[in-house]
Chains A and B, each alone.
Chain A
Amino acid sequence: MLKSDRGAAPRLRRGVAGVLGLAVVLASALLGSTAGTATAKDDEQSTLRVATATAVTTFNPFLSYYDGELNVIGNIYPSLMSLDQDGKPVPYLAESYETSEDNLTWTFKIRDGLKWSDGEPITAKDAAWTFNLIMSDPVAATANGSLVSNFKTVEAPDDTTLVITTKEPQANMLYVSIPISGIAIVPQHVWEGKVDSLKGYKNMEFPVVGYGPWILAGNVTNQYTTLKANKDFFMGAPKYDRLITQYFSNSDAAVAALQGGQLDQLGGVTATQFDTLQNAPNIKTYQQASDGWTAIEINSGAKTRSGKPIGTGNPILKDDTVRKAIALALNRQKLVDKVINGRGIVGAGYLPPGYPQFFWTPSEEESLSYNPDKANALLDEAGYTMGDNGIRVDPKTGKPLMFRFGIHSDDTGDAQIAPYVQEWLKAVGIGTKVEAMSFDQLNVNLSKGDWDMLMDGWSTGPDPTYLLSIQTCATLPLDDGSAGNTDSFYCNPEYDALFNKQITQFDQGERAETIKSMQEILYQANADIILYYKNGLSALRTDQVGGYLYGEPDSEGFYPLQNQFTNWRTAAPATGEDAAPASSQTGLWIGLGIAAVVVVALVGTVVLRRRATAGLRE
């Protein structure tokens, strides 16, 4: 072994030093490169800091549909209408509107004298151009195409008049263009040049030309977005100078930031986190009635639009009695108590309680609340005899009542619910095989009809049309399997008739009644068994921000559904000492202190040891 080459030593050391040096240079270079276009810190400015749950990849309103992006877009572009505290449409860009005799033509009067942030006037032509682009360009239709599918023409005869004609009467017209969940109107003179490359356009040339309570000023990819207050906003300028929406990929990190004072508001916390925050100082936790539900879908016979059966769904589930027994076997109150710590409402109707005008609850005798004895009796009566292994058997085919139960593997709620469902159904002689699947896999199975039971969840904006539509026969797939959009292959002509009726009912009271009847039909069908509506759980730093919430909490302490378009504008810095920067600095210094101590200790040990060993080994 030739190992005593002396020349190796210095060369090697240089090599190692080179590698280390390279790493340092690389690291510091990256530190620089990761910094984006954040605005320079200015201590004179007041800043509202809120968390968003979804990352931002685009501010292109034609493509975006993630909450984190929509909340920003709804605040930097105008829409025809906005919502009041009760969720009712009120004028925004449109000062007023009128409908024609046949309810097919809508004429909006556009507010005069408003200007885009680059000084150009905002006119009805901008609105007409935006709608027409969505109607004619499939790429522009990506996010909101379904909202204009009933539009025939949109025209702007002059700068303050917008005329929309529809193919059929459309009762939800006033919800089509609202902040955040509806269509945002963009400046034609800016966007005309972007149409050809719309698909890849991210709209990140700051400041972005728009109009709204805020002006989009900058974005650091995957970290945060900075907005500047529009002091001339006609509904009233925001009270803060600056707004930062920060992306937290992990809700624990967001909660810690709120506790540490680096955040002012945080939504969408888990029940466990909510309970922890309730006891934290300077933090106010608040609940909103839910805008969505968690449910079990049951395959009551998957078929195509022409009626051809598809998929491998268990035919036993076509039996209304079996589905009803399943509904009776589930203890929904216990799910609310144990899975979401009581922060929710036991499920029944198809539309969530966040929109009281549409909320429907079954009558006493209709109600399918927890009753395993009744479920057993129903199944006995229908002839499903109990097998030796505790699983009932279908008398006609001799097959056991054994169903696949698909859950989303990325959803901790699903994973928590599944064992309860499994145990409760076992108690009435129904076996389930829980299959955790990715979202994509679940959808592939769903669209092919290759499923028996699935976990499902939806939330909706103030207009429920879309959510109601996915239960209609028109959303079943074609015979080649394409173009399907159905939620659970439910199809009932009676329901469809009511769906088509409510869309043309301009009297909101009458429309709500129709919608409630539709929910009754769905409730009796047991194709979507609504388990619960989870409350919106949020928290605020009361020592840092005031005036954020609107509306009065009801007797149970629930706030009406909040809306970032209003929240962000009405929020004001709390009076009194602002402790936040200090505390974050403290943490920083403590952290650095620890690091320094560790380094000193390490160096000390090395030096001391070296000295000691040197002495010993002389």
Chain B
Amino acid sequence: MVRFARAYVQLPTGVVGALILVGVAALALSAPLFIHPSDLSVSKASGPLLHPPLDGYPLGTDQPGRSVLDLVIWGARPSLTIGLIATALTVLVGSSIGLMAGHYEGFVSRSLMHVTDWFIALPSLPLAICLAAVLGQGAVSITIAIAITSWTGTARLVRAQALAVEARPFIERAKALGASDRQIMLRHVLPNVAPLILVSSTLTIASAILSATTLTFLGLGDPTDVSWGTMLNQAFGQGAVTGGAWWYLLPPGLAILVVVLGFTMVGRAVEQILNPKMENRR
């Protein structure tokens, strides 16, 4: 662990990425301390309507006259939440299927991999759109749609790694000692594939946040949420493009960019350390 930390600090991208994430997380968590519910209230908003930056509103205002800065900071909360929950679901489903496909042989393994292959063949965005449209608007269905469309990557990675682990002698030994399938998978294989799962989940969060924003922008989110995707959806629908309302369009997009970049950088740094073979490539 110490070795890992030491190696991590050596990587500038990793450090920058981690700093970004810590900063964003701190802002998101502490937002209720400095953003009062009345700042987000539409009926109490007192700023001018859809106005460029002015005194008291460093990033301008939205249509009801609320501060865009407040909205962007507050928007981190639902955006990160969706990303994290969707990733947790993805990892859970993907790892279970990957582990099972790696452990069992014959029919089970083959059918699991066939199912995975079928899902891989489905284009993720159209499938997510269809799912979200059918499940109904809102964060819950978006989360489910993302999980259903992105578990295949994890499943494949985990299976490949699990196969390698299963071939090692200590698994042989555990089997000889009468360990159950469950024990082998959870006690012996899982700890060995966990680092890989960690890497892939960092990268999954990044793309989950992107997917969630995209689905929300397309109108599948809850339009009354204060999230980055909703802000962009509203801006697009209200004609902010014609109005040249750059102060309303830029901040949410940049926020997404920064967070996604942060997760990607951290994920890559962790990957470099855990997978030295990759190191000489970057």
Contact B136 A415 (CB under 8 A): no
Q: A272 to B224, Cβ gap below 8 A?
A: no
Asked if B138 contacts A273 (CB within 8 A), the reply is: no
Residues of A within 8 A of B63 (CB): 272, 338-339, 416
Known contacts A339-B63, A410-B219, A416-B63; A437 and B136 CB within 8 A of each other: yes
B41-49, B163-171, B195-203, B264-272: which one contacts chain A? B41-49
Contact among A255, A256, A277, A412 for B234, CB-based, below 8 A: A412
> In the complex, A251→B240 CA distance in Å?
11
Interface string of A309-348 (1 = CB under 8 A from B): 0000000000000000000000100100011010000000
Closest partner residue, chain A, to B43 (CB atom)? A423
Q: Does B39 contact A (CB under 8 A)?
A: no
At the interface, yes or no: A434 with Cβ under 8 Å from chain B?
Answer: yes
Partner of B239, one of A272, A409, A422: A272
Task: Find B238's partner among A272, A277, A407, A424 (CB 8 Å cutoff).
Answer: A272
Q: Which chain A residue has the least Cβ–Cβ distance from B245?
A: A272
Q: Which of B223, B244, B245 contacts A415 (CB 8 A)?
A: B223
Q: Is the CB of A252 within 8 A of B241?
A: yes
- Secondary structure of the A side of the interface? helix
Contacting B223 at CB < 8 Å: which of A251, A277, A423, A436? Answer: A436
- Give the residues in chain A near B223, CB-CB below 8 Å: 407, 409, 412, 414-415, 418, 436
Q: Tell me the minimal C-beta distance from B43 to chain A in angstroms.
A: 4
A412 touches B244 (CB 8 A): no
**Contact residues in B for A435 (Cβ distance below 8 Å):** 137
A174 and B192 alpha carbons, distance in the complex (Å): 82
- The CA of A251 and the CA of B238, in the complex, are separated in Å by 9
CB pair A338 B49 closer than 8 Å: yes
State how many angstroms separate the Cβ of B143 from the closest Cβ of chain A: 16
Known: A256-B242, A339-B63, A412-B223. A272 touches B50 (CB 8 A): yes
Q: A331-B43, A409-B219, A437-B136 are in contact. Are A415 and B234 (CB under 8 A)?
A: yes
Say yes or no: is A469 at the interface (Cβ < 8 Å to chain B): no
In the complex, chain A residues 419-475 whose Cβ is within 8 Å of any chain B Cβ: 419-420, 422-424, 434-438, 441
Report the nearest A residue to B63, measured CB to CB.
Answer: A416
Residue A137 is within 8 A (CB to CB) of chain B in the complex:
no
A436 to B44, CA, bound (A): 23
One of A270, A334, A412 near B43 (C-beta < 8 A):
A334
Give complex CA distance A434, B220 in Å.
15
Task: Name the distance in Å between A509's Cβ and chain B's nearest Cβ.
Answer: 41
Contacting pair B42 A423 (CB below 8 A): yes
A344 to nearest B CB, angstroms?
A: 14
B56 at the interface (CB under 8 A from A): no
Check A273–B239 contact: CB distance below 8 A: yes
Known A252-B242, A269-B239, A273-B239: A338·B133 in contact at CB below 8 Å: no
In the complex, whether A276 has a CB less than 8 A from a CB of chain B is yes
Q: Contact between A437 and B137 (Cβ–Cβ < 8 Å)?
A: yes
**Closest partner residue, chain A, to B240 (CB atom):** A272
Given A409-B137, A438-B133, A441-B136, also A415-B224 (CB < 8 A): yes
Is A118 at the interface (CB under 8 A from chain B)?
Answer: no
On chain B, the residues within 8 Å of A423 by CB distance are 41-44
Asked if A272 contacts B243 (CB within 8 A), the reply is: yes
Q: Please tell me if B64 contacts chain A, counting CB pairs below 8 Å.
A: yes
**B65 at interface by CB-CB < 8 Å:** yes
Residue pair A273, B137 in contact (C-beta under 8 Å):
no
B32 interface residue, CB < 8 Å from A? Answer: no
Contact status B243-A273, CB under 8 Å? yes
Min CB distance A263 to B, Å, is: 13
Which residues of chain B in 212-255 are interfacial with respect to chain A, using CB atoms and an 8 Å cutoff? 219-224, 233-234, 236-245
**In whole Å, how far is A358's beta carbon from the nearest beta carbon of chain B?**
31
Dominant SS among interface residues on chain B:
loop
Distance of A441 Cα from B220 Cα, bound (Å): 13
| A412 touches which of B42, B222, B237 (Cβ 8 Å) | B237
Number of B residues whose C-beta is below 8 Å from A?
Answer: 31
A424 and B43 contacting across the interface, CB-CB below 8 Å: yes
Tell which of B237, B240, B244 has the most Cβ of chain A within 10 Å: B237
Nearest residue, chain B, Cβ from A270: B239
CB proximity of B213 to chain A, nearest CB, Å: 16
Whether the Cβ atoms of B224 and A434 lie closer than 8 Å is yes
Are B242 and A276 within 8 A (Cβ)? Answer: yes
B residues in contact with A415, CB < 8 Å: 223-224, 234, 237
* A420-B42, A437-B136, A438-B133 known; A255+B65 contact, CB < 8 A: no
Q: Which residues of B contact A95 (CB under 8 A)?
A: none
State which residues 382-426 of A face B: CB under 8 Å.
407, 409-410, 412, 414-416, 418-420, 422-424
| A417 and B240 alpha carbons, distance in the complex (Å) | 18
* B50 contact set on A, CB distance < 8 A: 272
For B243, what are the chain A residues with a Cβ–Cβ distance below 8 Å?
A: 272-273, 275-276
Contact with B along A270-286 (1 / 0, CB 8 A): 10110111000000000
A420: chain B residues at CB < 8 Å are 42-43, 64
Bound-state CA distance A272–B243 (Å) is: 6
CB distance from B247 to the nearest CB of A (A): 13
Chain A: minimal CB distance from B96 (Å): 32
Residue of B nearest to A274 (CB): B239
Q: How far is the CA of A308 from the CA of B50 in the complex (A)?
A: 49
User: Given A341-B49, A414-B223, A416-B64, are A276 and B244 also a contact pair (CB < 8 Å)?
Assistant: yes
- Residues of B within 8 Å of A276, CB to CB, are 239, 242-244
Other-chain contact of B242, A273, A414, A434, A441 (Cβ < 8 Å): A273
A252 to B235, CA, bound (A): 11
Question: Would you give the shortest CB distance from A537 to chain B, in whole angstroms?
Answer: 11
Q: Which of B64, B219, B220 contacts A338 (CB 8 A)?
A: B64
A255 to chain B: closest residue by CB: B242
A420 to B43, CA, bound (A): 6
Measured CB to CB, the closest approach of chain A to B168, in angstroms, equals: 24
In the assembled complex, which residues on chain B have CB atoms less than 8 Å from the CB atom of A277?
Answer: 242
Asked if B133 contacts A436 (CB within 8 A), the reply is no
Interface residues of B in 100-157 (CB under 8 A from A): 133, 136-138
Specify which chain B residues have a CB less than 8 angstroms from the CB of A272 in the assembled complex: 50, 63, 238-240, 242-243, 245
Residues of B within 8 A of A441 (CB): 136
Contact, CB under 8 Å: A338 / B242 = no
The answer to whether residues A436 and B137 also contact, given A272-B50, A407-B223 and a CB cut-off of 8 A, is yes
Whether B239 and A255, one on each chain, are in contact in the complex, defined by CB atoms closer than 8 angstroms, is: yes
Name 6 extra pairs, CB < 8 A, besides A273-B243, A438-B136: A255-B239, A412-B234, A415-B224, A416-B238, A420-B43, A434-B222
B residues with a Cβ closer than 8 A to A are: 41-44, 49-50, 63-65, 133, 136-138, 219-224, 233-234, 236-245
Q: Could you list 9 examples of A-B contacts with CB < 8 Å?
A: A270-B239, A272-B240, A272-B242, A272-B243, A416-B42, A418-B223, A436-B221, A437-B137, A438-B133
Binding site for B on A (CB under 8 A): 251-252, 255-256, 269-270, 272-273, 275-277, 331, 334, 338-339, 341, 407, 409-410, 412, 414-416, 418-420, 422-424, 434-438, 441
Among all A-B residue pairs, the 7 with the closest Cβ atoms: A415-B223, A412-B237, A270-B239, A273-B239, A252-B241, A272-B239, A436-B137
